[in-house]
Amino acid sequence: MTKVITKEDLLSWLRQLAEKYAIIAPVTSNGVTLYKSVGSSEIDKINLNFSKTELSPKNWFFPPSETLFTIVKDELPRIIPASVDREAILFGLRPCDAKGIALIDKAFLAEPADVFYQEKRDKTTLIGLACLSPCLECFCTSVGGGPADLTHLDILLTETAEGYITQATTEKGKQLLTGAPRQEKEIIPPVLPSLNLILAEGITELMPRVFNDAYWDRVADRCIHCNICAYVCPCCYCFDIRDYVSKGKIERVRSWESCQSPGFTRLAGGYDPRPTKGAHFRQRWYHKLLYFPPIFGDIKCTGCGRCVRSCPVNIDIREIITDVQRMKV
Amino acid sequence: MMSINPFIPYQATLKEVINLTPDIKLLNLELTVPELQNNFDYKPGQFAFLSAYGVGEAPFGFVSLAYRKSGIEFAVRRIGTVTAALHELEPGATIGLRGPFGNYFPLEDYKGKNIFIIGGGIGMAPLRPVINFILDHRAEYGNLLIINGARTPKDLVFANEFDTWAKAPRTQLELTVDKGDQNWKGREALVPAVVTELKPSPVNTIAITCGPPIMIRFTLAALKGLGFANNQIVTTLEQKMKCGMGKCARCNVGDKYVCKDGPVFTFEQISKFLEQY
Ligand code: SF4
Ligand code: SF4
Ligand code: FES
């Protein structure tokens, strides 16, 4: 017997939860699906059949731009730190996006923890939706994930004709599920889709030997520095910190950046230890595939394929991984 | 030691400003919270971010020694927007201070060894607390040889301490400039050439060098020419930094973060990076 929740019950449960929690869920408007905050009267707007959101859910914990603190110029500057919102439920996560969050956790929750991120993270429960019809560019199974991978979620829902199968993996998830109206049913679990495989295994070991190959300069040449790849990536987390002044109020703001931006490493005075376009471009791939793994135990890619879909010049991580495998130096 | 939220600076009062060179000022700060004043600890090699509120923040190595309790000092060279703003400040101004961050020179491990300090320009800043620490613990270290180089005599930092350094037991101070003026009677030579000329023995010696990248490159070659091994040569890497705690990825080099795993590295570590430094 399996515990399931019907679609109607799921929506009314969410409506009820929305009284206490902020609900962030996929909503489609004008053909674009994004995670949005939905109130209890807007639960019907949630798109339960979306394929993948345009932007990853990292925005919720790590907004594109956030005020770290504000200073009001009194006699002595007083620092008024940014405050945090109420508890939240991030609903309708694809398993790869949950992994994206887990990867950012590794860096941002490492000592000393990023307090701004941690506060939002601690207050959020992650409810996932298994993927039964993946997108063309999905390759999660090549990088250790899968369409019904529940490792990084609190709860996973899998759709069947009888309703959604509910699986809680964490204490937080179990607690929350106790309030959900579920029924015991005899269910045949759906067949999971199989995805195209790329050869990502062993990629970390192969990266060092192709570091000085002209390949990186050549592929970088067509990159237009739009940074879309990093912005849509569920696990890219480079950021910038700047001060802004308006009407006597000083704000310190952090915003998304990308390590492949020109000038990312340029020091005051002009010296740049990483001066070329190819070197900036290479850094992003090396951080993902070589530098991150020994520190945090995994390559920094979830297989969501958003960068593949979004890059205006068709730079494709699947191709890069495959090319590195093929380059025999 | 670090504040509960390491993104939020402590407030500090600028106590004193000393012009070290035409473009480098020594800022002496005191934290405004009294409980912190006596507990704020940091080590030679570590750094902090100083905020010129409204302009931004930038990282600077501590140039004072915490245990001397004579204020928290930084040498700030006017080179960008934040440093220009810091140069404008007068005593009494409030500055934000975040830190300490990073690793430090393992001076405990160097006990019993000869120390060879090679600094160029503002690169002498993080080396000053190393020198003063050794002088405060003179009996525990071997010979101390210091090369302090700069473009012109006016650009030599910490000139008011040269006498103290030169007169300390088993200590030799060598000054050099790229180009002297009419009063200059000392050396006119590039730092790496002075290293080769003085020929200190690598036996039981640690060389610590900080300065512009080009100076470091040739100094490294000069030291190797004298027989120094990569693990006997120590430097601080300069990288753009934003967070100081291994998050923003600005300072990432290989599987290291300069802000967290550095800024102090041996050349043995640096030689393992795929990128050239
Ligand atoms: S990459 Fe995998 S987990 Fe992500 S949306 Fe596609 S099938 Fe689902
Ligand atoms: S999306 Fe493509 S063009 Fe834009 S920065 Fe990334 S690789 Fe370059
Ligand atoms: S300064 Fe942000 S990671 Fe080092």
- Domain ranges (residues) in chain A: 2-57+83-185, 203-326
**B1: pLDDT confidence band, cut at 50, 70 and 90?**
very low
Confirm if A253 and A246 have CB atoms less than 8 A apart. Answer: no
Residue ID of nearest Cα to ligand 2 atom 8? A223
Quick check: helix, strand or coil at residue B2?
A: coil
Instruction: State the average pLDDT over residues A175-186.
Output: 92
* Chain B residues near residue A243 by CB distance under 8 angstroms: 51, 53-57
- Chain B residue with minimal CA distance to A107? B247
| Ligand 2 centroid from CA A223, angstroms | 5
Query: Would an 8 Å CB–CB cutoff place B242 in contact with chain A?
Result: yes
Counting ligands in written order, the one closest to the CA of A93 is: 1
> Are B247 and A291 an interchain contact pair (Cβ–Cβ within 8 Å)?
no
Query: Which pairs with CB-CB distance under 8 Å and at least 24 residues apart come from A166-173?
Result: A166/A3, A166/A4, A166/A5, A172/A125, A173/A125, A173/A127
The verdict on whether omega for the bond into residue B100 sits within 30 degrees of 0, i.e. cis, is: yes
* Chain A residues near residue B58 by CB distance under 8 angstroms: 268
Quick check: helix, strand or coil at residue B8?
A: coil
Confirm if B205 and B231 have CB atoms less than 8 A apart. Answer: no
Q: Out of B55, B56, B248, name the one closest to residue A239 (CB).
A: B248
Higher pLDDT, B34 or A305: A305
Closest by Cα among B19, B23, B68, B17 to B44: B68
**A86: pLDDT confidence band, cut at 50, 70 and 90?**
confident
Which ligand 1 atom minimizes the distance to the CA of A99? 3
Query: Would an 8 Å CB–CB cutoff place B274 in contact with chain A?
Result: yes
Residue entry with tokens 């967070």 = B243
Rounded distance between C-alpha atoms, residue A132 and residue A10, angstroms:
18
Q: What is the model's pLDDT at position A199? A: 86
* Binding-site residues, ligand 1, Cβ < 6 A: A 52, 94-96, 131, 134-135, 138, 140, 145, 147, 303-304
ipTM of the prediction: 0.91
Reported as a single tens digit per residue, the pLDDT across A41-53 is: 999 999 999 999 9
Residue type, A238: C
pLDDT more than 90, % of chain B: 92
DSSP A113: P
Quick check: helix, strand or coil at residue B42?
A: coil
Q: What is the model's pLDDT at position A254? A: 95
**A329: pLDDT confidence band, cut at 50, 70 and 90?**
low
Q: Out of B54, B83, B255, name the one closest to residue A250 (CB).
A: B54
* Half-sphere exposure in the Cβ direction for B159 (13 Å, CA): 15
Query: Would an 8 Å CB–CB cutoff place B92 in contact with chain A?
Result: no
Q: For the CA atoms of A245, A246, A251, A255, what is the dihedral angle to 10 degrees? A: -80
* Backbone angles phi and psi of A220, in degrees to 5: -65, -30
Residues 6+ apart with CB under 8 A from B203: none
Q: What is the model's pLDDT at position B35? A: 83
Residue type, A291: Y
Which ligand 2 atom minimizes the distance to the CA of A225? 5
- Chain A residue with minimal CA distance to B80? A268
Which ligand 3 atom minimizes the distance to the CA of B244? 1
Quick check: helix, strand or coil at residue B4?
A: coil
Query: Which pairs with CB-CB distance under 8 Å and at least 24 residues apart come from A211-215?
Result: A211/A282, A211/A286, A211/B274, A212/B274, A213/A327, A213/A329, A215/A323, A215/A327
Q: Which residues of B113-123 are buried (b: 16+ CB within 10 A; e: fewer)?
A: bbbbbbbbbbb
Instruction: Reply yes or no on whether the pLDDT at B2 is more than 60.
Output: no
The verdict on whether omega for the bond into residue A112 sits within 30 degrees of 0, i.e. cis, is: yes
Rounded distance between C-alpha atoms, residue B277 and residue A83, angstroms:
41
* Chain A residues near residue B32 by CB distance under 8 angstroms: 76
Q: What is the model's pLDDT at position A249? A: 87
Instruction: Reply yes or no on whether the pLDDT at B28 is more than 50.
Output: yes
Reported as a single tens digit per residue, the pLDDT across B172-231 is: 999 999 999 999 999 999 999 999 999 999 999 999 999 998 999 999 999 999 999 999
Residue ID of nearest Cα to ligand 3 atom 3? B246
| Ligand 3 centroid from CA B250, angstroms | 5
Closest by Cα among B105, B265, B116 to B194: B116
Structure token pair of residue B44: 């030679």
Q: Which residue ranges form the domains of chain B, and what is each CATH number?
A: 10-101 (2.40.30.10), 107-276 (3.40.50.80)
Query: Would an 8 Å CB–CB cutoff place B76 in contact with chain A?
Result: no
> Can you count the helices (H) and strands (E) in chain A?
12, 12
Q: What is the model's pLDDT at position A320? A: 96
Structure token pair of residue B257: 């973060």
* Chain A residues near residue B92 by CB distance under 8 angstroms: none
Task: Name which of A66, A271, A276, A300 to mutate to probe chain B: the one with the most chain B Cβ atoms within 10 A of its Cβ.
Answer: A271
User: What's chain A's average pLDDT?
Assistant: 93
What's the pTM value of the predicted model, to 2 decimals? 0.93
Rounded distance between C-alpha atoms, residue A255 and residue A64, angstroms:
5
Q: What is the model's pLDDT at position A79? A: 76
User: What's chain B's average pLDDT?
Assistant: 95
Structure token pair of residue A105: 């956790």
Residue entry with tokens 């060179």 = B21
Residue ID of nearest Cα to ligand 2 atom 6? A229
pLDDT more than 70, % of chain A: 98
* Chain B residues near residue A77 by CB distance under 8 angstroms: 11, 53, 94, 96
* Binding-site residues, ligand 3, Cβ < 6 A: B 241-244, 246-251, 257, 259
Gap from B50 CA to chain A (nearest CA, Å):
13
Instruction: Reply yes or no on whether the pLDDT at A84 is more than 80.
Output: no
Q: How far, rounded to the nearest angstrom, does the alpha carbon of residue B221 sit from its chain's CA centroid?
A: 21
Residue entry with tokens 């592929």 = A219
H or E element, residue B136 = helix B128-136
H or E element, residue B234 = strand B233-236
Q: Distance between the two ends of chain B, CA-based, in angstroms?
A: 32
H or E element, residue B267 = helix B267-270
Rounded distance between C-alpha atoms, residue B267 and residue B219, angstroms:
12
Kindly give the pairing relationship between strand A32-38 and strand B72-77. Answer: unpaired
**A188: pLDDT confidence band, cut at 50, 70 and 90?**
confident
DSSP A117-168: HHHHHHTEEEEEE--SS--TT--GGGGT--TT--TT-SEEEEEETTEEEEEE
Quick check: helix, strand or coil at residue A24?
A: strand
* Backbone angles phi and psi of A182, in degrees to 5: -120, 160
Counting ligands in written order, the one closest to the CA of A192 is: 1
* Binding-site residues, ligand 2, Cβ < 6 A: A 223-229, 310-313, 315
Instruction: Reply yes or no on whether the pLDDT at B156 is more than 60.
Output: yes
